[in-house]
Chain A
């Protein structure tokens, strides 16, 4: 008998379909894996179950009773708990304050001491000891996650949703988490585990449901899965071959040489660890890995937005690791940023104004600090035409364009500068097939022209099609560097998931 059922659940954000006709059935005491790529709709589905979003259509049943979840409180009252990927803990408060925050059963005057005793007792019973009086900001990531799980249990959760729980954990912490999960299911708790890592699903899950583009493609017992590649195929599907006629590259001189760079963030957590690789002119090097394994920090180091704590970044023969972004951009580096909305363009400016963001200070864009709009306009009209940006005119507000057209003009702006080094991060994320193919073709042409291209992507196909060499990253480390000819999905997948 299924304890939880979601029937024909769909969710739309405006025109975008995040979930379409999803059926999910979870049994009591099992660990049910929810599998899928980035953007497959896993998190949206679980946010619906937790009452954060309301489904556009479909129903949810708990123990056969239909649920109407208007907000998380309804879900909590029904015994549903969720540990979000980004922890929902207030860092300035103590563990126990976070645990009791917002509970209906609280008295007006808090008796934290009593709650802390109960909580510590419960934590001990689950074998997850934690100091209730510690400030959350002083805890390690693993401990914070433990606090999140206990917070849900303290609210008497019987179904626990874990959203990518191991994404932020060290391998040791992950092993400990799996022990906890086994322990919880032994106590008849039901767990839904969102993940895209094959090995952890094989390790702890009973059944799994695979989502692709918002739809369920399969539900099966984990015991029936032969190997990781089968799940990979299910997750990714057999994509239409984007036949790129990539000519074999003839690498020129070395353009970018990254030597042993490391970076620690402001919490002193190591994000990059002695990363080294190089790119020659006319070559595309792909960085592949699960999101959040140091790719973003690497790109920010190369473009001068942050500075590595050690190591060198040589552009040609110059060390740019301490340079300001403006200096680096002047040296012929173009950067297609990971999030075009937050970084790459200004929504409230026209396309015309957005297109000069990187070159406005150069001749003939401007002379004596005066912008030459006449020249700029004709130049920008050329870019819009060359890069196939669909817009009524170049004076259109950039935010009014579709995602594909926005990305096209960002790419156009960056390539127009004829860079010696092009850093492209997720250049085709969220785009339709046509725009994706267009942009990928442009990257190829750029390398044929003689630019060194650094391509960061989580799409394996994209990486394998375009890159001459592939750098695989995991937890801020370079796991290995593979030549295109030797790269297979399986090999890359295993490297991405490998423990370092």
Chain B
């Protein structure tokens, strides 16, 4: 049981980082499926940074910086140029695939780097002694603790601050925001960049935090799952938290069931997270909080 919970939380951390990060830009009306590519890029640069400097933390910073650049390209094309957001997301994913494979071969494979320094867990005294959940929750790495805090932080910014109010308004009715003097383009740019930073961190957590290595295509759809979590979470912080946990349970279950000797083949359990995502999207009928202007570029005047 404990083992299962540990794996669930391991799966939840990158999902939480990425979905909570992208929640703001989604709520502000931009659809970013380039998350997959951002996470992949973050995963590679996290490992590269750790390899170069020996510190996974500097690695994570480099990962986030690389994703800022990628997000800037995405934001420029979708907000300023008003290109189709979904196709642009695919373009970003393709670019990220090419970039990561190339750089991986140039810097890592050719130097036969197998493992780099990863994040070390930092147990929190006393709390980690609580039976069952102690080890699960309080013997974790820094990005994992950050993910917990991020849930609260995102909720706070989303519902209590001026910025949160602007974000909630922009995806709903950009023209109205324009008439009260909000710069719609600037807000969309900044939320996209922020989402990129978080996706970069999530990617670095997957590579440096879980495997201490990079492998090609290692994100395998988790960026899409993070995007689906925002939709299924009805575009609210707590909803996103809930759907991330559901997806994480699905992923944890997958590993658990793979290890167990079930009559159903191991490969079917591999499909489980993807099937859960599809089912979740089909169950999301109410759409009460989905931004009305999602995916539609704003033309001033």
Contact = CB atoms under 8 A, between A and B. Distances in A.
Interface in B257-301: 289, 301
Contact of B181 (A72, A89, A93, A108): A72
B179 A88 contact: yes
A52 B173 CA distance: 16
A101 B175 contact: no
Most central of A97, A100, A103, A110 by chain B CB within 10 Å = A110
A107 B166 CA distance: 13
B178 interface: yes
Contacts of A106: 162
Interface residues of B, number: 20
Contacts of B122: none
Contacts of B172: 90-93
Contacts of B166: 101-102
Contacts of B33: none
A109 B165 CA distance: 10
Nearest to B176: A88
A84 interface: yes
Contact of B182 (A50, A93, A102): A102
A257 interface: no
Contacts of B188: none
Nearest to A99: B180
A107 B179 contact: no
Interface string B158-200: 0011110110110011011111111000000000000000000
A178 interface: no
A3 B165 CA distance: 35
Contacts of B176: 88-90, 101
A441 to B, nearest CB: 37
Given A72-B178, A76-B180, A84-B179, A101 B169 contact: yes
Most central of B165, B168, B175, B289 by chain A CB within 10 Å = B165
A250 interface: no
B224 to A, nearest CB: 26
Contacts of B301: 52-53
Interface residues of A, number: 27
A93 B161 contact: no
Given A90-B169, A90-B172, A91-B173, A102 B161 contact: no
Interface in A7-60: 50, 52-53
A93 B162 contact: no
A100 B165 contact: yes
A100 B162 CA distance: 9
Contact of A72 (B160, B168, B180, B289): B180
A216 interface: no
B162 A72 contact: no
A88 B173 CA distance: 8
Interface in A52-85: 52-53, 71-73, 76, 82, 84
Interface in B134-180: 160-163, 165-166, 168-169, 172-173, 175-180
Given A52-B301, A110-B160, A93 B179 contact: no
A365 to B, nearest CB: 33
A144 B160 CA distance: 24
A109 B181 contact: no
A76 B178 contact: no
B168 A93 contact: yes
Interface string B82-100: 0000000000000000000
Nearest to B163: A108
Interface in B79-128: none
Nearest to B291: A92
Interface of A: 50, 52-53, 71-73, 76, 82, 84, 88-93, 97-98, 100-104, 106-110
28 contacts: A50-B179, A52-B178, A52-B179, A71-B181, A72-B179, A72-B180, A72-B181, A73-B180, A73-B181, A82-B179, A88-B173, A88-B180, A90-B168, A90-B176, A90-B177, A93-B172, A98-B169, A100-B162, A101-B180, A101-B182, A102-B169, A102-B180, A102-B181, A108-B162, A108-B163, A109-B161, A109-B162, A110-B165
| Interchain residue pairs A-B with the least CB separation, the first 5 | A73-B181, A102-B180, A88-B176, A106-B162, A102-B182
Given A101-B176, A102-B181, 13 more contacts: A72-B179, A73-B180, A82-B179, A88-B173, A88-B175, A88-B179, A89-B176, A90-B169, A100-B165, A101-B165, A101-B166, A101-B180, A110-B161
